[in-house]
Structure 1
Amino acid sequence: MTETIKPIVAVVGRPNVGKSTLVNRILGRREAVVQDQPGVTRDRVSYDANWNGREFVLVDTGGWMSDAQGMAAAIAEQAELAISLADAVLFVVDATVGTTDEDEAVVRVLRRSQKPVVLAANKVDDQRHEMMAATMWNLGLGEPFPVSALHGRGSGDLLDAVLNSIPEAPKETYEEVGGPRRVAIVGKPNVGKSSLLNKMAGETRVVVSDVSGTTVDPVDELVEIGGQVYRLIDTAGIRKRVKEASGHEYYASLRTQAAIERAEVCIMVVDASEPVSDQDLRILSNIEESGRALVIAFNKWDLTDEERRYYLDREIDRDLQAWKWAPTVNISALTGRNVDKLGKAIETAAAGWETRISTGKLNAFLGRLSAAHPHPVRSGKQPRILFGTQAQNCPPTFALFTSGKMDDTYVRYIERRLREDFGFEGSPVHVQIRAREKRKDRA
């Protein structure tokens, strides 16, 4: 399939001028995380947009600050990177505040980039603010377009100007067959998911900070591991409970669940230097219930000593027994140790997830199993497996037609034996029992 590479529009501006609100207005849906607090968007996050039948990609960036230090400096670097990759820039300023030194600093960066710039004077909610927008001519970027991201006022004219600034013809096309495999990096906050994505992508792609919960938007990135291209979905750290999360964390936790559901394989990142937590177990259960292939990556391996590894082995035996079917890799996202081995683990898990068994093979296996280990007699009756079929793969799901209800322990035994005979490494296996209904005697 030949796909057109869409033009890219970077949305930049200093913190809290309403960039994410404007992005949501253009998209016509709540995608970017919005909160009445500056600095919620930290990474550059891209969305597919469409206006008047023309498609383009919007890149929402963190607030740009010229004298930024620490986290803010990393955000500024991301915004500059977004500008360098874009075909055009949508520069958002707050008309109610007027031009600031920060705005002037952004203008200098934009001039250096020599990219076409469309100036959006935001927060012009009514006609009284129109005059304030006019003062933005002094930035020297041409006509300021008065808009209200909150109410949608003036967004049509602004989008027309954006379309006029981006190339009409597609830049290039590329061949894509089936699309790259979708891999979500999940785990509780601050276990090193963003560091892992950066190491895999080979460039600083996501803002990394030791403040837990820094990433709040899932970010898609195409990366190559061992010659294979994957679409990586980095997700916000899943909060302890959605109900406890507030504001942008609430939306981010919902979106993390959506990222798990979008993925084919989930890399569950566990901090090897700390005890396995209830939160880790909840996320693992979530992945299994969602029917996704699973790879467990024990990160921060460089911070573990012999004693910690001894206790970790015991925790794995005690707490992670239910997921022993998942391939595990001991990694250090910081040093890059064993990160290259994740590619093989992803492929193993994906192969298990896609496995399909013929009905003939399955019933021969069920016949051997029933003969060697029949279901226990319950209330004078012994339910039998009449017939089985694989209802679907991705994940492997089996429907067993039986003469009566079966014990949960026996169903788990069937699942274990299916794994022993057919593998399914890295994939959940679902076994559904369909008991034949009793015919009621007519009076």
Structure 2
Amino acid sequence: MTEPTDNTLFLPGDGHWTDEGDWEVDLLDDGTPMGEEPRAVVAVVGRPNVGKSTLVNRIIGRREAVVEDVPGVTRDRISYDAEWGGRPFSVQDTGGWEPTAKGLHQSVSRQAEHAMRTADLILVVVDATVGATATDEAVSRILRRSKTPVILVANKVDSNKLESDAAALWSLGIGEPRLISATHGRGVADLLDLIIETLPTKPRDDIQRTGGPRRIALVGKPNVGKSSLLNKLTGDERSVVHDVAGTTVDPVDSLVALGGKTWRFVDTAGLRKRVITASGAEYYASLRTRGAIESAEVVVVLIDASQPISEQDLRILTMVEETGRALVIAFNKWDLVEEERRLQLEKEIDRDLIRFPWAQRVNISAHTGRAVQKLVPAMETALESWDTRVSTGRLNNWLRETTSATPPPMRGGRLPRILYATQATNRPPTFVLFTTGFLEAGYRRFLERKLRESFGFEGSPVRVNIRVREKRSRK
């Protein structure tokens, strides 16, 4: 088949054109698309509040990791794509590692330990203004037995006066301390040069890149069970889970095989309030959650079924609708719902979710795993609707039948006519109606409802825009 001549078309990986006119990516034996080499992983570890997330932001060249002058802001292990000197790699931010941690901090430490076991290179970050602490020495004792390359990073060396103090970190026994200031960028370029020199040419564990799994964002209030659901889906403790509300701060994404397909699930920070009224780390976490929604294709909004539907739940649903993403509402903690609460929940759904009758709904329990497999058909239905495009001929035939049976209401003594309709785009389905006059909001909602009845669109928002034809001036 002749290759299209549109040079602006982005074609992922190496591949070929099929007879149907689609671009098919060629895969290696391990499932990696040709032209996309797996990236080596650099893990950034250390005790709390030594500047790990600040260093990660400096390495990737943008403010992605949440940073605040409070210990313990980062809790999960978060991966970011980075590049230096033409060499791409992944950098993994971790929570503060403490050998004697309990409760939530113990879960955070396990995430850091997992990062150290699976990385190709480990950066141990130490606060040079404090010196080597008992925690730093405990980390060093473990890493001295590791076969993974280790670089000791002495952070917060903001001036030449602190360089002599940093020399004392040789006592940790994991090599020469590399002096940097992550906040000001001092010495970071030299550190990146060393990282590229030390990284192995081939990652220890090949990362299989599937060439475009559908992206799913898990969103909801704090402590509604988003991280528990991600862990249940992955079969691994991918996200830190604790009964303290707001445990997740950064978005955590994982590739999950479900229903014979690979999905990219993104666990997000719980939204407590409006972004404009949040502060500190909560403000930046809210921004990243909003960004995760906008970059997702389907948003799974988790609602605690054991509690009444709250104003914040409705605000989150409205946010998803406004961003135009496909929607699945998952009523979580169903194992805690008794018969009386189920009857009350049905009333709340009829009363509070009247604006979202099109959303897919499932009842699950992330804790027990009950019915989590029902998420797959709900997401597939929502995605299919989100991707749907209706041909112009079929759309206008429907429009003539609908307006003949129910004409638009009179406005200003005149009856507006709908001349023509077309679908401007999908994702979400957006329709433009060319009319001779303005259509009332109630009639636009009527047309949207009829569109759904005729063409489906279950699980996807539908937008109906009006284009009023300008009056021709008389000569």
Classify the TM-score, shorter chain: over 0.9
8 Å Cα contact 1:359-1:389 kept in structure 2: yes
Partner of 1:85: 118
Partner of 1:148: 181
SS of the residue corresponding to residue 321 of structure 1 reads: coil
Correspondent of 1:96 among 115, 129, 142: 129
Partner of 2:430: 397
Taking the aligned partners of 1:241 and 1:171, their CA distance within structure 2 comes to 43
RMSD of aligned C-alpha atoms? 1.4
Correspondent of 2:355 among 317, 322, 325: 322
TM-score (norm 2): 0.91
Partner of 1:31: 64
8 Å Cα contact 2:38-2:209 kept in structure 1: no
Structure 1: which amino acid aligns with 2:233? M
8 Å Cα contact 2:268-2:292 kept in structure 1: yes
Partner of 2:451: 418
8 Å Cα contact 1:5-1:171 kept in structure 2: no
Structure 2: which amino acid aligns with 1:56? F
SS of the residue corresponding to residue 294 of structure 1 reads: strand
Q: 1:219 to 1:172 in 2, by over 3 A?
A: closer
Partner of 1:180: 213
Identity across the alignment (%): 62
Correspondent of 1:308 among 341, 344, 354: 341
Correspondent of 1:358 among 384, 391, 402: 391
| Corresponding position: 1:243 with 2:308 | no
8 Å Cα contact 2:303-2:329 kept in structure 1: yes
Shift of 1:364: 0.4
Structure 2: which amino acid aligns with 1:122? N
SS of the residue corresponding to residue 355 of structure 2 reads: helix
Partner of 2:73: 40
Larger displacement relative to structure 2 (425-434 or 168-177): 168-177
| Corresponding position: 1:262 with 2:267 | no
| Corresponding position: 1:4 with 2:10 | no
The one-character-per-residue Cα deviations of 1:109-163 (angstroms, maximum 9, x if unpaired) are 2234321000001111111111111111111111111111111111122112222
Taking the aligned partners of 1:113 and 1:307, their CA distance within structure 2 comes to 56
**1:7-406 counterparts in 2 under 5 A?**
7-169=40-202, 178-406=211-439
8 Å Cα contact 2:55-2:183 kept in structure 1: yes
The one-character-per-residue Cα deviations of 1:38-61 (angstroms, maximum 9, x if unpaired) are 000000011111111111100000
Q: 1:30 to 1:348 in 2, by over 3 A?
A: same
Partner of 2:464: 431
Shift of 1:173: 6.8
Taking the aligned partners of 1:112 and 1:357, their CA distance within structure 2 comes to 62
Taking the aligned partners of 1:400 and 1:161, their CA distance within structure 2 comes to 59
| Corresponding position: 1:409 with 2:426 | no
8 Å Cα contact 1:23-1:58 kept in structure 2: yes
The one-character-per-residue Cα deviations of 1:185-226 (angstroms, maximum 9, x if unpaired) are 011111111111111111000001111111110111111111
Shift of 1:169: 4.0
Partner of 2:22: none
8 Å Cα contact 1:83-1:113 kept in structure 2: no
Partner of 2:7: none
Taking the aligned partners of 1:388 and 1:413, their CA distance within structure 2 comes to 15
Taking the aligned partners of 2:353 and 2:393, their CA distance within structure 1 comes to 34
Shift of 1:439: 3.2
Shift of 1:172: 7.8
Partner of 2:30: none
Taking the aligned partners of 1:153 and 1:244, their CA distance within structure 2 comes to 34
SS of the residue corresponding to residue 375 of structure 1 reads: coil
The one-character-per-residue Cα deviations of 1:297-330 (angstroms, maximum 9, x if unpaired) are 0001111111111110001001111111111110
Give the length in aligned residue pairs.
Answer: 442
Taking the aligned partners of 2:316 and 2:471, their CA distance within structure 1 comes to 39
Structure 2: which amino acid aligns with 1:19? K
Shift of 1:24: 1.2
SS of the residue corresponding to residue 182 of structure 1 reads: strand
Shift of 1:30: 1.0
Taking the aligned partners of 1:375 and 1:218, their CA distance within structure 2 comes to 46
TM-score (norm 1): 0.97
Taking the aligned partners of 2:247 and 2:380, their CA distance within structure 1 comes to 29
Structure 2: which amino acid aligns with 1:208? V
Structure 2: which amino acid aligns with 1:267? V
Shift of 1:438: 2.3
8 Å Cα contact 1:4-1:170 kept in structure 2: no
Partner of 2:27: none
Shift of 1:405: 0.5
8 Å Cα contact 2:41-2:203 kept in structure 1: no
Taking the aligned partners of 1:177 and 1:304, their CA distance within structure 2 comes to 38
8 Å Cα contact 1:4-1:172 kept in structure 2: no
Taking the aligned partners of 1:171 and 1:70, their CA distance within structure 2 comes to 32
